[in-house]
Amino acid sequence: MKLAALLTSAGINTAVCVVLFSLYSILRKQPSFVNVYFGAKIAQVRSRQQDAFCFDRFVPSPSWILKAWETSDEEICATGGLDAVVFVRMIVFRLCITANSAVMEFSLKNLSIALCYVYEPLLHCSKLTLLPRIVDSFRIFAIAAIVCNFLVLPLNYFGKEMQSHHIPAETLEVFTIVNVEEGSRWLWAHCFALYLISCCACFLLYLEYKSISRMRLAYFTSSGSNPSYFTVLVRAIPWSREEAYSGTVTRFFRNFYASSYLSHQIVYRSGSVHKLVVGIHSVLTETGTMCKILKLTPRELHIGSNSMRCGLCGTTASFSILPMDAEGDKGRSDFGGSDLRKKESAAALVFFRNRYAALIASQSLQTRNPMSWVTNISPEPDDMYWPNICVPYRLLWIRKIAIYVASMALVAFFIVPVSLSQGLVHLDKLQKTFPFLKGVLKRKAMSQLATGYLPSVVLVIFMYMVPPIMLLFSTLEGSISRSGRKRSASIKVLCFFIWNVFFGNILSGSVIERFSKIFKDVNFLLATAVPSTVTFLLYVFILRNKDVTTYGTMTFPYHTEVPRILLFGLFGFVYSTLSPLILPFLLVYFSLAYLVYRNQILNVYVTKYQTGGTYWPIVHNATIFSMVLMQIIAMAVFGLKKSTVASSLVIPLIILTLLFNEYCRQRFQPLFQQIPAQILIEMDRQDEQNGKMKEIYQKLTTAYTQFKSNSHTLGDPMPPSHNNCKLEDLEINPGSTF
Amino acid sequence: MKLAALLTSAGINTAVCVVLFSLYSILRKQPSFVNVYFGAKIAQVRSRQQDAFCFDRFVPSPSWILKAWETSDEEICATGGLDAVVFVRMIVFRLCITANSAVMEFSLKNLSIALCYVYEPLLHCSKLTLLPRIVDSFRIFAIAAIVCNFLVLPLNYFGKEMQSHHIPAETLEVFTIVNVEEGSRWLWAHCFALYLISCCACFLLYLEYKSISRMRLAYFTSSGSNPSYFTVLVRAIPWSREEAYSGTVTRFFRNFYASSYLSHQIVYRSGSVHKLVVGIHSVLTETGTMCKILKLTPRELHIGSNSMRCGLCGTTASFSILPMDAEGDKGRSDFGGSDLRKKESAAALVFFRNRYAALIASQSLQTRNPMSWVTNISPEPDDMYWPNICVPYRLLWIRKIAIYVASMALVAFFIVPVSLSQGLVHLDKLQKTFPFLKGVLKRKAMSQLATGYLPSVVLVIFMYMVPPIMLLFSTLEGSISRSGRKRSASIKVLCFFIWNVFFGNILSGSVIERFSKIFKDVNFLLATAVPSTVTFLLYVFILRNKDVTTYGTMTFPYHTEVPRILLFGLFGFVYSTLSPLILPFLLVYFSLAYLVYRNQILNVYVTKYQTGGTYWPIVHNATIFSMVLMQIIAMAVFGLKKSTVASSLVIPLIILTLLFNEYCRQRFQPLFQQIPAQILIEMDRQDEQNGKMKEIYQKLTTAYTQFKSNSHTLGDPMPPSHNNCKLEDLEINPGSTF
């Protein structure tokens, strides 16, 4: 591909981008669209009705960019939860690494200033402690930037392997390592750059992991009154002929946890016909395409969601209103084994007197049979995924295996359309297949458009189809929480992206061809990424008239966005030393992503539940994977260039990177899997001293409501954790034994 | 190889075997050898001095075989612990599976009787519950035996692929699947046999796993007074400038475990120069080759072991006698940061008031830093491996990785001598290399001897070298218990055997050649296995004069014997359908092993510590691996024989086997990793009601003695768990805070 084609494509993308940004700036100021663009804010405070006409409304302004730029991590955390902070940090990290070797046009001074701004949020976050560290990492950055941009790129360009054209007509290969002579002595520069980038990345990864661990610990402390800390989810309660599940639970916990057991709440099952409907329904709601496909009015959707809440196990299509637990009314206890017992599922939420007791109960193997009395710390009330809790525990392992196989099959099956799309990229093939296009494609602009856009269009379609399917898989897998489901889906989507987009699309060609493909991917990045972050906004705008209320409840789609950023990070790492020309484009992408996602987190999405930052281990592992892949590919390329010294010098780097990963796994990962006992004990003590426990016990009774209305009135001042459960419609009180 | 060569080899082996057995029968009756052959018994009871001469002493008699045969599983468990029962069960399981398809000479009736006897120990164990199940599995056996022996073998023999010789001169290939025609319709019989064997094996595996789980639960209950249940091993205690480790521990546990914390005992470090010496010393002691190499008198060994106990961290070569803890004597607390503090390591044993509290403390993540206050349930006092406990925790992960890499290297490196040994097998090569041997090797008997014995001799040398190296690796890996070290070593040795002996030796040839090698391995089995079980006895006899006392303390070498049995099980599975002729030989081997090992467990080895049956998951996984390998090889062979139907019929069998494995993992494995809370709580309650707790607390004070003499007087009546710690020499009292 020629440089000119690349620039054409970049030009189109920039133009589209500017138009969309302006459009967004204007639209968001229109009072009638306020529900669309400020869903999150509106869920908390009723907006001021500002209908007055003024000229300012129709002038594009960068105020929202400034706002997104200025917001501190604390504010992000308050609005979007720790997961949102982790997400933003992920982008910043990639931005840093990319900036590292990308900004070849910048002078060193400009670079320093730019990096200073990139680091501003970090400075905001922990003003004093991080400062010296940033100065440190900053120095490393400066060195790396000099090396990569003033050494590697010129070396590539003057590598003499290809004949030099006039620059605009130059094929892009001259900027890559392909242009370097075989056995060139200058390959040590590439090797040095590789070492520097790896060291910087590891150093930054360590700082980030450390700081996010600290945030996670702070999150535990700050979310102290969360009922989930007091609650243990018990599954696989053994069935007994004489007693209802409720009685069995009481007897078991009164026996073994006499001092700390407070009460419990049985999980009920309901209509099972709707199993798949519920699965698809919730998937579609998550991804926001619900209304488009089902064509429901808000009211229909509202009613529908009631009778579709807990499917998957029972036999009736809609649930009936279940009365209080048997201990409350003696009248019904006569027909013991009948209606009520049939609706009980073998799962219960057990409440404890303090957090530490709940932690203990959740960690132990309870009885002699590991397949009964399975305990976990319960998810937050809004995070509970009730349908899966009703699933018999003994079937879960089969489901998990089946889903694992299905995911693998999906990943393998999708390589066929991907390779088809790859065939479309080649202009000559296109002309052969569709002869009537010959005339059109002969025009230069059109041919460049086809080369630049066609592969990305096909890939975008894949990208939009895969995450909902993976989310459905994760649902069927049996995750007990919504956040866990998204987390599992994001891992699946990441594997899919890495295999199909990266390996399938790039590494399938021959070695030389591989490097020529990089630049198609630059287009692909800009063509998919920039619009995709703005597409959502347009999408909301177009669908606005159908159902305004739904959008207020949309949670951030981590399962699509995390893999996407990680995929582009992978691109950045792998090509950073081999063909640094990709880096400025990635830099632009990450900067845009930084602003757009921050804006969306602040204004658009609602945070109902969060994982408490457990996306970071995924990010960390994916980054390490990218780095090792970068090193292995570099080693292979050095080998092909017949520089055995450079090639063998990479081996210790790979070993060191893997050792670093292992260290981080030892040092930080346990915090993302278990809650430290110390923190819970300290919180318990504080609450006992303050006399807050009574109040917390009171709240526990009503915290978990299995059957509830999905409606909520816009603009009502509600606490964030309950903004979706007004409990105005029918509602089951827990089968508690208070 | 011809049938005649095989028979010659078998004949030699049988003769050697009979001679050794007779020798053993006679020798064990000599009063002067009683220390050698009854080490375990003598450790408990002083033997009657029976020096009277009688003729009976010099007549070989099978009484010990009868004794070994008659002993019930309960007696084995009482003498050798649960691990010994697991070991015997492993052999019985393989015996059953081998018997299944092996006994082609037997009529069905004889087979039934034989199997009845094989099952006797099972019947003994749980008389009523297992009976109906055995009848069930018995039926399956009968069917499988008919199919395998009366269908597969004749089919192979009359397969017409090779021309039929007179039987004694027949090459052994005619009995294998090699002799079956390509695309033969009779391959369904092999496929059917495969299904039957897999089903039988899975069914038996399930029964065994279930019964061993039950035994493990019973083991928990029966070992209730074990101090390890009350004790938590804390490592990585944070260092503080103001306080000794002892004070830090007290403060931490008084703060967070106020109600259940009883006291603690700091682990001290000593000479570090002897680090490697200690490692090698203990390895050699375990494998029993110590005295041979170091040429020490018993007294030297005795003294030596004192100054070599806890190496690995300190600086002095021998430790000094450390006084009681600082809290006891105020006089010394003045020079706080000096001598005593320097000898404290960052590890402690913390005692709790009840078992459940200790379990809880061992399971939780304690503080905000996962690399400090690392807690585990402590091993039993005799099981503690003190040198490794002193190792700084933060270095352990590096050690683990280094050892992992070293083990891999060892496995890869050893393939070179193995392939050299393989070259020696071929007679013609041998004649070329050593021309002077030509005359000798031309004699028929000698050539058959060379073909039969040479490969096995080389392999035996490997087999004896590898386990001590792997045990040394496991020691350096940082296992805190002796049993855990052996367990880890046995996994490493198993991997080594499977890769080098099985894959390296058998699968390296071409497909046809592969099957001709099987029969060399039959020889190899008999040549290594039968003598190796008796070799030990001879070995003890020869070395007897050097140091009688050492042998009384020898524990069963699970790390060599478990992999060996599993390797032969692998042979059995893989060749059961393809060349059933291997099976009678394996049957003989397993029968001998059954008797010899039972005898050794009962009479020779001392049980100082045990893992509580955690070898079974290794056995289970290795068996599943063998089965899947058998199925994959069979599938490949069916494919080569151009029977796609039979080949594709194997695929569901593989899937089912893997699903079965996953089910067992879910259902039973947690019991081998965690102790159920229910059991501990029940034991605690019982002891509190009986008022036994005071007594247990008293015992806890002295249970763990880090520095102790290794000597013990033979024949002294000591409790089995303390038969090695007479505490007569110098001894450190714990730094307790009672």
Q: DSSP secondary structure string, B233-284? A: EEE-PPP-SSS-HHHHHHHHHHHHSTTTEEEEEEEEP--STTHHHHHHHHHH
Buried b / exposed e along A183-196 (16+ C-beta atoms within 10 A): ebebbebbbbbbbb
Cα separation, A489 vs A467, whole angstroms: 7
Cα separation, A670 vs A174, whole angstroms: 47
Find chain A residues with C-beta within 8 A of B670's C-beta. Answer: 365, 370
CB B145 within 8 A of CB B175: no
Degrees to nearest 5, angle at CA B41 with B38 and B44? 145
Cβ-defined contact of B256 to A364 (cutoff 8 Å): no
ipTM above 0.90, yes or no: no
Where is pLDDT greater, at A77 or B535? A77
Q: Quote the minimal CA–CA distance from A258 to chain B in Å.
A: 12
Q: Quote the minimal CA–CA distance from B214 to chain A in Å.
A: 9
The torsion angles phi and psi of A54, rounded to 5 degrees, stand at: -145, 155
* CA-to-CA dists, residue A194 to A112, A203, A352, A639, angstroms: 21, 14, 53, 15
* CA-to-CA dists, residue B409 to A156, A302, B423, B486, angstroms: 39, 63, 22, 20
Q: Quote the minimal CA–CA distance from A438 to chain B in Å.
A: 48
Cα separation, A722 vs A705, whole angstroms: 11
- For position B232, what pLDDT does the model report? 93
Cα separation, A548 vs A624, whole angstroms: 42
Cα separation, B185 vs B655, whole angstroms: 25
- For position A406, what pLDDT does the model report? 92
Q: Is A166 exposed, middle or buried (0-12, 13-18, 19+ CB in 10 A)?
A: exposed
Q: Which of residues 383-422 of B touch A (CB under 8 A)?
A: 397-398, 401
Helix, strand or coil for residue A354? coil
Which range among A57-71, A79-93, A268-282 has the greatest average pLDDT? A79-93
| Residue carrying structure tokens 């037997």 | B106
Helices B396-413 and B444-477: crossing angle in degrees, nearest 10, is 170
DSSP B230: G
Find chain A residues with C-beta within 8 A of B678's C-beta. Answer: 256, 366-368
Find chain A residues with C-beta within 8 A of B217's C-beta. Answer: 368
A259 touches chain B (CB under 8 A): no
- For position A549, what pLDDT does the model report? 43
* Nearest alpha-carbon partner for B171 in B39, B38, B2, B331: B2
pTM across the whole model: 0.74
Find chain B residues with C-beta within 8 A of A365's C-beta. Answer: 670-671, 674-677
Per-residue tokens: B42: 């003598």
* CA-to-CA dists, residue B334 to A215, B85, B329, B536, angstroms: 42, 54, 10, 56
Cβ-defined contact of B676 to A365 (cutoff 8 Å): yes
| Residue carrying structure tokens 């400038």 | B241
Q: Quote the minimal CA–CA distance from B459 to chain A in Å.
A: 34
* Nearest by CB: B367 against A256, A669, A676: A676
Identity of residue B373: W
- For position A387, what pLDDT does the model report? 86
B367 touches chain A (CB under 8 A): yes
Identity of residue B287: T
Q: Quote the minimal CA–CA distance from B552 to chain A in Å.
A: 36
Cβ-defined contact of A678 to B397 (cutoff 8 Å): no
Q: Quote the minimal CA–CA distance from B411 to chain A in Å.
A: 20
CB A359 within 8 A of CB A676: no
In which band, very low, low, confident or very high, does the pLDDT at A384 lie, cut at 50, 70 and 90? confident
CB A244 within 8 A of CB A341: yes
Find chain A residues with C-beta within 8 A of B366's C-beta. Answer: 676-678
CB B360 within 8 A of CB A256: no
Buried b / exposed e along B619-634 (16+ C-beta atoms within 10 A): bbbbbbbbbbbbbebb
- For position B390, what pLDDT does the model report? 84
- For position A664, what pLDDT does the model report? 92
Cα separation, B356 vs B377, whole angstroms: 11
A interface test, pick of B369, B664, B673 with most A CB neighbours within 10 Å: B369
- A321-356: pLDDT as tens digits: 333 343 433 333 333 445 666 778 889 999 999 899
- A176-224: pLDDT as tens digits: 666 666 666 667 777 877 887 888 788 888 988 898 899 889 888 888 7
Per-residue tokens: A347: 């799962």
CB A85 within 8 A of CB A613: yes
- B208-225: pLDDT as tens digits: 899 889 988 988 888 878
- For position B135, what pLDDT does the model report? 36
- Beta-carbon neighbour count of residue A102 at 10 Å? 26
* Nearest alpha-carbon partner for B700 in B113, B228, B206: B228
Find chain B residues with C-beta within 8 A of A367's C-beta. Answer: 676-678
Q: Quote the minimal CA–CA distance from A217 to chain B in Å.
A: 7
User: Please, how many CA atoms are within 13 Å of residue B84, restricted to the half-sphere of its CB?
Assistant: 27
B256 touches chain A (CB under 8 A): yes
Cα separation, A96 vs A137, whole angstroms: 10
Residue A621 confidence (pLDDT) above 80: yes
Cβ-defined contact of A676 to B365 (cutoff 8 Å): yes
- For position B657, what pLDDT does the model report? 94
B655 touches chain A (CB under 8 A): no
* Nearest alpha-carbon partner for A400 in A478, A483, A482: A478
In which band, very low, low, confident or very high, does the pLDDT at A717 lie, cut at 50, 70 and 90? very low
CB A612 within 8 A of CB A557: no
B254 touches chain A (CB under 8 A): no
The torsion angles phi and psi of A2, rounded to 5 degrees, stand at: -85, 160
Please enumerate in sequence order all residues whose Cβ is within 8 A of that of A626, keeping only pairs 6 or more positions apart, or say none: A566, A569, A570, A573, A574
Residue A305 confidence (pLDDT) above 80: no
A143 touches chain B (CB under 8 A): no
| Residue carrying structure tokens 């999708």 | A414
A462 touches chain B (CB under 8 A): no
- For position A317, what pLDDT does the model report? 33
Q: Quote the minimal CA–CA distance from B217 to chain A in Å.
A: 7
Q: Quote the minimal CA–CA distance from A660 to chain B in Å.
A: 10
Contacts for B125-134 with beta carbons within 8 Å, 24 or more apart? B125/B72, B125/B73, B125/B74, B125/B211, B126/B211, B130/B207, B130/B211, B133/B207
In which band, very low, low, confident or very high, does the pLDDT at A653 lie, cut at 50, 70 and 90? very high
Cα separation, A145 vs A101, whole angstroms: 5
Please enumerate in sequence order all residues whose Cβ is within 8 A of that of A272, keeping only pairs 6 or more positions apart, or say none: A311, A312, A313, A314, A315, A316
* Nearest by CB: B681 against A256, A666, A671: A256
Find chain A residues with C-beta within 8 A of B258's C-beta. Answer: none
Cα separation, B707 vs A52, whole angstroms: 87
Average pLDDT over chain A, rounded to an integer: 68
Cα separation, B204 vs B629, whole angstroms: 18
- For position A17, what pLDDT does the model report? 63
Cα separation, B349 vs A551, whole angstroms: 57
Where is pLDDT greater, at B194 or A306? B194
Cα separation, A646 vs A656, whole angstroms: 16
Find chain A residues with C-beta within 8 A of B679's C-beta. Answer: 368
Per-residue tokens: B524: 């190899």
Cβ-defined contact of B676 to A401 (cutoff 8 Å): no
* Nearest by CB: A365 against B365, B370, B670: B670
A675 touches chain B (CB under 8 A): yes
Cα separation, B345 vs A296, whole angstroms: 69
- For position B60, what pLDDT does the model report? 66
Distance of CA B120 to the CA centre of its chain: 23
Cβ-defined contact of B663 to A397 (cutoff 8 Å): yes
The torsion angles phi and psi of B266, rounded to 5 degrees, stand at: -80, 145
* CA-to-CA dists, residue B550 to A199, B525, B540, angstroms: 54, 30, 10
Q: Which residue of B has its CA nearest to A668?
A: B370
Mean pLDDT within A599-624: 83
All residue ranges of chain B with pLDDT < 70 are 1-10, 12-14, 16-17, 20-25, 27-62, 94-186, 270-341, 415, 417-460, 462-463, 501, 504-553, 579-585, 708-738
Q: Quote the minimal CA–CA distance from A522 to chain B in Å.
A: 39
* Nearest by CB: A367 against B363, B668, B678: B678
Strands (E), B618-699: none
- For position B413, what pLDDT does the model report? 78
Cα separation, A571 vs A623, whole angstroms: 11
Identity of residue A136: D
Cβ-defined contact of B370 to A670 (cutoff 8 Å): yes
* Nearest by CB: A360 against B360, B365, B368: B360
- What is the DSSP code string of A132-155? HHHHHHHHHHHHHHHHIIIIIHHH
Cα separation, A278 vs B449, whole angstroms: 73
Cβ-defined contact of A370 to B671 (cutoff 8 Å): yes
